[in-house]
Structures are given as C-alpha cells and as structure tokens.
Chains A and B, each alone.
Chain A
Amino acid sequence: MTSGAGTTPAPRSGGLHLAAAVDARGLEVDLAVRPGEVVALLGPNGAGKSTALGLVAGLLRPDRGRVVLDDDVLADAGDDGRTRTWVAPHRRRTALLAQDPLLFGHLTALDNAAFAPRARGAGRTAARAGAARWLERVGAGSLADRRPAQLSGGQAQRVALARALAAEPRLLLLDEPLAALDVAAAPALRQLLREVLRADGRSALLVTHDPLDVLALADRAVVVDGGRVVEEGPAAEVLAAPRTPFPARLAGLGRLRGTAARGGLVLPSGRVLPGALAPGCRQGEPAAAAVPPSALALAPPGSPGDLALDVVAVEPRGEVVRLRGADDGAWPGPAVDVPLAQAAARGVVPGRREAVVVTGAAGVLVRPAR
C-alpha cells in the first residue's frame, strides 16, 4: 500500500504496479508484474486473487490506492477513496481469460477472435485476417467457422485465448485458465500458454491452484492470504521452500519441526535433514522445513524412526498409499507414500501413530519456527 499524503508518484519502470485496497472484499495488496514477466497469484479460495484481477481489468474500483500499467495510471483513489483517475476497462488494453471461455455464442470462432480488433475500430476484413492468424497460432485454425456450442472445452479455451491475444493486451489476466479443462485437454493448453507467454515475452498475471501451472508458466509467485500479500519470490523457490502454509499445501509439502544446525534441520531423533539455513535462521534455534512425501518412508517395524506421524488421512494414489499427518497449525503436516503391498501388509488406518524415517530430500531450506 502506498502511503503519505495524497498521490504518490507512479513508478517509472513499466509493467504493472497494483497497490490498492477493496474494503468490501477485505483486500489490500501490493504487487508488481515487470515487463515480460509472468507472475502466478496463489492463495486459498476467497483470498482476493480474482478481486486483484478485477482491479487491474477495471471491473472493480479500488477504495484506496492505485493501479499503474506501463506508466499509465489506470485507477487512482489516493488514500482517501476520492477517485482522481479512472480509466474504463475498454481503454486499459488488458485481456482476461477465465476458467469459463465465455465466448460470444452468436459469433463464430473467427468473429470471436476478431472481436477486440473490431471493437477498436478495425475493418471487418482486416480484423478477420488478424483473427485467422491468431486462431492458427493457438491451433484452432480449422475451427474458424464453428459456433461456440460446437466446440469442446479445450477447443473453446483455445479460441478464447486467440480472442484475448488478438486484443494485443499490454497485460494478460489469466484466471484459472486450465481449471475447467479435463485431464486430456489441460496439458496441451498449458504447453500452448507456455509457448505464447515465453515466445512473445508477454506480461501476465496468472491465478491458479495447480503447482504445475506455476512451474511451467510463471517466473515469480505471489501468495495472497486473507487479502494481503504474504509471500513472493521466484516461482520454483516459492513452491520448493515455501515461507507460508498455502504454497506448501499446493506443492504437497509437509512441515517437519526440529532445531537448526550447520548441516540442516536436526530432527527429534537426532537425525539431520540435510539442507541450508535460510537467512535469519540461527543454529540451535527452533526451525522447520517443508519436505515432500518422497523424502520420507515408514520406519521398519519396531524401530522408533526419526519422527512420529499421526495419520489423519489415507489416500490411495495409484501404486502407493499416501498417509497424511496432522496439520501443524495452518501448515500441512508431513506425509509419507507407502507402496501398496507394504500398506496392505501392515494395515494403515487413520488415527494410528506411525514411525517415519527420512530417506531423501537433499537440500531443504531450513527456516526459523516459533
């Protein structure tokens, strides 16, 4: 949130600067998207992710703060909510691709893709020619004459992407673009998004609940919780060594507690989980690390193991059964994958305490824990 009396000067670095509050949604965020950067916006349902997109698109007015895109002030409500600047959505040069393709049902795929150029005053022929190129680009060239009702979910989302790109947006707003697609269609569209975003050096703000989307598409991740930005960093780093519970849960990591030491995290058993200490984490102090289930295994019967896991859930996952430990406050507890045969032989049920040993996870990041 910007502070000080009245209007603060706009940052002069291009890209998106969103520092605004919407009181009715309990949102007060401060985030940036640099030119050519893809930022994943993560957070639990109701955290304010879509509200943030709405602020950028111009579908919502901020109660305070400002929205700046490529040095243009799109919205400025100052610190007192008195709107000083308001640019209508259609003059912002952004484009929105949501979970639902929201194609215009009365237009063909081609005319859907030609919508934005037409709306900006291009002639029908020129707009259609450009639209046809975008449909080709997203692999929907053969669908040009179809109506949205004749398209599958994946095809419709391709056409919606072509429609968004044809608007030549300065910033692409992606609101869970793959969430509604079936498992067969999602990977192809993810790959397409990756190509389109990377090849053309586009700026995008991507809301997603899928860690694969974050890793494949985003440069940076911003975590919003309770209407505030609680964590941000390089996408891979946020998912591998999360500072806050939400990305840990998203990445399937569980929290292990222990004591910080030179070589990593000392578990209650004395075993050291190898890793590096995060800045501000001092040896000998309580600490924690987030580890994937693949780093843990059940201890041999009779052995005390490195830690005890109170099983709260048993989830079959193909060849393994995942035993989930109890949450540690807001953090997900550790989980361990047990081969089916072993699970069947031992009998795994929620409510039992299992001994677990550390088998892998080289290089976790050890953070201070209070």
Chain B
Amino acid sequence: MRGARPARPASTGAELPRWVLVPAAVGALLVLLPLVALVARVPWAELPALLTSESSRAALALSLRTASAATALCVLLGVPMALVLARTALPGLHVLRSLVLLPLVLPPVVGGLALLYAFGRRGLLGGQLEALGVSVAFTTAAVVLAQTFVALPFLVVSLEGALRTAGRRHEEVAAVLGAGPWTVLRRVTLPVVLPGLVSGAVLSFARALGEFGATLTFAGSLQGTTRTLPLEVYLQRETDPDAAVALALLLVVVAAAVVVAVRGRPAL
C-alpha cells in the first residue's frame, strides 16, 4: 500500500453502510442551519450601533466581568478539587466525583432555585449571611455564583483527565530529588497539566458566559447588575429583534473562538 496518496488510518477494510451518511448529514445540518439563519438575519449596517447601545454595553461589560470572576473562582476551587479527585484515595471519592458532575446535567433553572434556597434571604445560609450584612441573591455576586455553579464541572473534569493522563512518575522523581509537596505541585504537576487547565478554564469561561437559567432564577434581570448578555438577548427578542440578533452573533463568535481554542485538546 505504498502509493502517491498518504495512507489514512482505517481508510479501507471495514466500510460503513452508506445510509449512515444521511442521518449524519441531517445532524450536521441541524447544528449548522440555525446558525446560518441567525447570521443571515444580522442587520450588518446597524451592527456597530446595536452593539454599542447603552443596554448592550452594560450587558457586555457585566458578562465579561462576571464570567471572568466565575472562571477565576472555578480555577481557585476546581484545581484543588481535581487534585483531590485524581491524586488521593480518600473514602467516598466516587460520590464526590458524581456530585461534581451533577451541575453538568442538572437543568440550570433547578440549579438557580437550589442556589436561592442556599444563599437567598430565606435560604439555608441566608440568616447567617444577613447577620454579616451580606445579601447575595439578586446581586452581581449572585450572577458569579450561578455561573461558577454551572461552569465548575468543566474545569474539574478537564483537569482531572489531564492529571490522570500525566500520571505520577514525574512527581515521584521530583519528590525523590528533594522537592516537597508544594514545590512538586508548583513546579511539576501544574506546569505538566497546564494545557488541560487552560482548556478547562476556557470551557468554564464559555459556559459562564452563556449561563441563563440559573442566573435568571437566582440573580434576576437588573440592567447593569445582573442582566448578562444571554438575559439581554432574551429580553430584546420581543422588543428589538435586531439588537437581540446582534448580541446573539457576539455570543456565537465567542463560542466559535472557544471551540477553536479547545479543539485538539484531549480533555472533554
């Protein structure tokens, strides 16, 4: 099989039944067609004005701020979680792993409701928080909390996978060479899994940026305070469809950039 064409793995041999192509193409269209339709509806001429309107700018700034804060929070909490999951043998780890994954499959509205009953004024911790003079629900902090809640699994799963793939042998060599646990973590473990950490953080950021259900339930929709881009898109859809489409395009572009950034990474 040495020809002019570079050999592709699994190019011949077991072939697929041809009809598989039909549903596969339908599936691809299902993803592509709505995006094409959306882009076709973009009022290109008014786009700059629509994107720079006061409400748009407020939503965009709020979204960037909260999604960045949520991503930072995901890294701060998710890295230790992934380390515990991948590197310890504590009892009940598999329960913890399932719990971490729960927000991934939970309807965001339910997540928002749960957050409300935990941190809301009449929630589980509401009394204690109020005594401290802190009110979380329907504030920007609530937006960040909701986004972190839904985005955390992306970082943990991505990083845990990277940690398991990397294995422990480099860490063992480093320890024998005289590096204490903190030095091993800082100088060996984290640099080795950095690509996994970055792709996890990018995915978390994207998930946080797109968060809708939990935010609406737990944080409400106040312009400049809790009304993020997705909420603004939903709101404008009735009153100013052009503005909604323009903002939606922005979210599509960000999503596409994230896919390009993360593509090729083994995580997720």
Contact = CB atoms under 8 A, between A and B. Distances in A.
Q: Do these two chains interact?
A: yes
Interface of A: 57-59, 88-96, 98, 100, 102, 104-106, 115-116, 118-120, 163-164, 167, 173
Interface string B170-209: 1011111111110110011001101000000000000000
B110 to A, nearest CB: 41
B194 A164 contact: no
Contacts of A173: 176
- Chain B at the A interface: SS class: helix
15 contacts: A57-B172, A59-B175, A88-B180, A90-B176, A90-B179, A90-B183, A91-B178, A104-B170, A104-B174, A104-B191, A105-B192, A106-B194, A115-B174, A116-B177, A163-B177
Q: Could you say which interface size class chain B belongs to?
A: 10 to 19
Contacts of B192: 104-106
A163 B175 CA distance: 13
Interface of B: 169-170, 172-181, 183-184, 187-188, 191-192, 194
A90 B179 CA distance: 5
A173 B176 CA distance: 10
- Across chains A and B, which 7 residue pairs bring their CB atoms closest together, nearest first? A119-B179, A89-B175, A116-B177, A106-B191, A119-B178, A96-B176, A57-B176
A164 B177 contact: yes
| Most chain B Cβ neighbours within 10 Å, of A90, A102, A120 | A90
Contacts of B175: 58-59, 88-90
A364 to B, nearest CB: 42
Contacts of B187: 104, 115, 118-119
A99 to B, nearest CB: 11
A104 B187 CA distance: 9
Contact of B169 (A100, A106, A115, A118): A100
A50 to B, nearest CB: 12
A102 B170 contact: yes
Contacts of A104: 170, 174, 187-188, 191-192
Given A102-B169, A102-B170, A115 B176 contact: no
A96 B191 CA distance: 21
Contacts of A59: 172, 175-176
Contact of B180 (A94, A102, A119): A119
Given A104-B188, A106-B194, A119 B174 contact: yes
| Most chain A Cβ neighbours within 10 Å, of B179, B184, B194 | B179
B177 A119 contact: yes
A227 B170 CA distance: 26
A89 B170 contact: no
A90 B180 contact: yes
Given A102-B170, A102-B173, A167-B178, 19 more contacts: A59-B172, A59-B176, A88-B175, A90-B176, A90-B177, A90-B178, A90-B180, A90-B184, A93-B178, A100-B169, A104-B170, A104-B174, A104-B191, A104-B192, A105-B192, A116-B177, A116-B178, A163-B177, A164-B177
| Most chain A Cβ neighbours within 10 Å, of B170, B172, B173, B181 | B173
A57 B168 CA distance: 15
Contact of A96 (B173, B180, B184, B188): B173
Contacts of A116: 177-179
| Most chain B Cβ neighbours within 10 Å, of A59, A116, A119 | A119
Contacts of A95: 176-177
